[in-house]
Chain A
Amino acid sequence: MTAQTQTRTTASEAVAPAPSLFSVRDLRLSFPDLARKPLLGAAPRNEVLKGLSFDIPAGQITGIVGESGSGKSTAGRVLVRLLEPDSGSVLYEGRDIGHLDESALRPLRRDLQMIFQDPMSSLNPRHKVWRIIAQPMKRYGLGGTRADAIAALGKVGLPAAFAERYPHELSGGQRQRVGIARAIALKPRFILADEIVSGLDVSSQAQVLLLLKQLAREMGLTIAFISHDLSVIRHLCDRVIVLNRGEIVEQGSVDAVFRAPASDVTRTLLTAIPLPELDPDWLS
């Protein structure tokens, strides 16, 4: 099956198709279900990803959307190879990275960065902000001085004084910006952003999203943005992939998918969003 059969292409894309940074074909992944494991013998397996095929175009923001349990985070974690697929291919710049071992992955680790949902658990609480940003830079030989960290903070709109603070001294939005600073300081090719605004209130959410969009443009980043909020995806992303129970039910440019959603799953996700406008019938 080619990507074209599933994907609706808009006119602009047909003129100049963006080359793919990732090309994923028939991706399958299962986890052992330990709750149902018999005393002797192997546990039965839960299929989490059931044959996903999609592309992540270079230089674009691709939204991955679905309910909890749809497999969106799992699919993302395969892209940055925190998880190894059961079968299928994960081509990164034409090379299958699906089953590379850790030493072969090492040169790619810097290219493939991740920003997490809960910065309180992904930022070391014992370290000052500058060290959180500088340590991985040092690890990859990209400097790693206080000044380097402060420069990265500047890119996410945080003043130099924040370098000396601890994560618990920051607000949620500021913490999330430190997470972004840590990722972009490594000059990555790709960033996986997994529900990075779901814990934030609206104004911080807007700040973080606008920042991400601006950085993507300035640095030519490719981003996979995982969310359950289609309003956010509509404003931020170029393309969208809709997942349901481990399968892709719809994918395409955001313009096409939002103009005429083809799947009931997409329509359900859309109507579930409480828009900031009066609609007395919405809850009935």
Chain B
Amino acid sequence: MTGSHTHPNTLDVMQLGIALPNGHRLLRDVSLSLRPGEVRALVGESGAGKSMIGKAVLGILPQNLRVTGGEILLEGQHLGAMTPWTRRKTVAQSAALIPQDPLTALNPARRIGPQITDPLVRIHGWSRAKARDTALALLDRVHIRDPKRVMESYPHELSGGMRQRVLIAAAFAPSPRLIVADEPTTALDVTVQKQILRLIRELQQETGTAVLFVTHDMGVVAKISQKVTVLFAGKVMEDAPTERIFTDPAHPYTRALIAATPSYADLDRPFSPVPQTLIAELQGAIARDDARHQGAAR
């Protein structure tokens, strides 16, 4: 909290670069920022590196990846300058994750209750009673009908939509300043998706939590976010307010992503894949960039 008065942004990612051990670049100088209470969509096709940015912020990148450059600031604090222990503590206290697949994110052998309350007790130092009361209140808030019974349930006893509600409750429980939502509705069908998006929106507005929302669905982007970062091959193609993305997109790749999204309401605009020529052009530019980058490094 101390940083929020002196620094306006919840999150600043500056010139972040990530590479494989063989030097292959996965993220290329990615910069983005998130103000308190803001939802920023991170959109792109699979392999664009959108989940990786969220993972880098939370410090849960796969072991084999190297951060090659850049800075991540959480509420103005340089995460890179911290010891691993301090960093983990700082991130755990002010950021949370809503994962894509609620089944793999929950331990199948443990009841729901302790899976929500344990982090509140261990990381945030709450009493068991306070953690339990908060969990019950939040489960009720995410429209789970019988919170006490759900706390006693195992993950396999709940539907996909219910599990995702549980994880949303768990993410919001410690009142984090930042939530990374990593494709939280991709595994759900459309009616449940709408309920989940509405919940995230409501809770986020009530608590003023900033959300980094990773998705590949331009429809979801249009509905949930205020700002958008469009990624291709680990490089930012466009960064703009959501309104501008859908009224006057600047980058051809942004336009292609919108054109690839089918809409039942607009039959005059037949949807089409991102053109191969555009992909080749963008990849060419990135390859030239990489060559220059390597030249400079030498």
Q: Which residues of A contact B (CB under 8 A)?
A: 67-68, 171-172, 201-207, 209-210, 228-235, 258, 268-279, 282-283
Contact = CB atoms under 8 A, between A and B. Distances in A.
B45 A202 contact: yes
Interface in B182-235: 189-194, 197-198, 201, 216-224
Most A CB within 10 A of own CB, among B190, B246, B263: B190
Given A275-B219, A278-B247, A283-B223, A202 B260 contact: yes
Contacts of B192: 67-68
Given A204-B273, A273-B219, A278 B197 contact: no
Contact of A269 (B45, B190, B263): B190
B46 A274 contact: no
Contacts of A283: 194, 197-198, 201, 223-224
Interface in B266-297: 266-267, 270-274
A233 B242 CA distance: 27
A158 to B, nearest CB: 14
A129 to B, nearest CB: 20
7 A-B pairs closest in CB distance: A274-B219, A234-B264, A201-B216, A228-B189, A272-B190, A276-B218, A202-B260
A205 B267 contact: no
A237 B288 CA distance: 43
B261 interface: yes
A210 B257 CA distance: 16
Contacts of B193: 272, 274
A171 B273 CA distance: 15
Given A276-B258, A283-B224, A67 B191 contact: yes
Contact of A276 (B194, B222, B224): B222
Most chain A CB atoms below 10 A, which of B47, B191, B257: B191
Given A234-B264, A278-B243, 5 more contacts: A206-B273, A209-B271, A228-B190, A235-B271, A275-B263
Nearest to A282: B223
B191 A268 contact: yes
A273 B266 CA distance: 13
A275 B198 CA distance: 15
B223 A274 contact: yes
Contacts of A231: 261-264
Nearest to A280: B223
B76 interface: no
Instruction: With a 10 A CB-CB cut-off, give which of A202, A210, A228, A232 has the most chain B CB atoms.
Output: A202
A232 B191 contact: no
Sorting the interface of chain B by its residue count into under 10, 10 to 19, 20 to 34 or 35 or more gives 35 or more
B160 interface: yes
Given A277-B263, A278-B242, A67 B270 contact: no
Given A235-B271, A283-B198, A276 B191 contact: no
A210 B160 contact: no
Contacts of A272: 190-191, 193-194
A236 to B, nearest CB: 8
B217 A203 contact: no
A226 to B, nearest CB: 12
Contacts of B129: none
A269 B191 contact: yes
B265 interface: yes
Contacts of B194: 271-272, 274, 283
Contacts of A268: 191
A203 B198 CA distance: 26
Contacts of A270: 264
Contacts of B273: 203-204, 206-207, 210
B272 A210 contact: yes
Contact of B264 (A67, A206, A273): A273
B46 A201 contact: yes
Contacts of B217: 202, 274
Contacts of B266: 275
Contacts of A279: 222-223
Contact of A202 (B160, B218, B243, B246): B218
A17 to B, nearest CB: 24
Nearest to A254: B264
A206 B271 contact: yes
A78 B164 CA distance: 31
A242 B222 CA distance: 27
Contacts of A233: 264
A34 to B, nearest CB: 14
Contact of B222 (A210, A230, A271, A274): A274
A283 B202 CA distance: 9
A279 B221 CA distance: 11
A276 B219 contact: yes
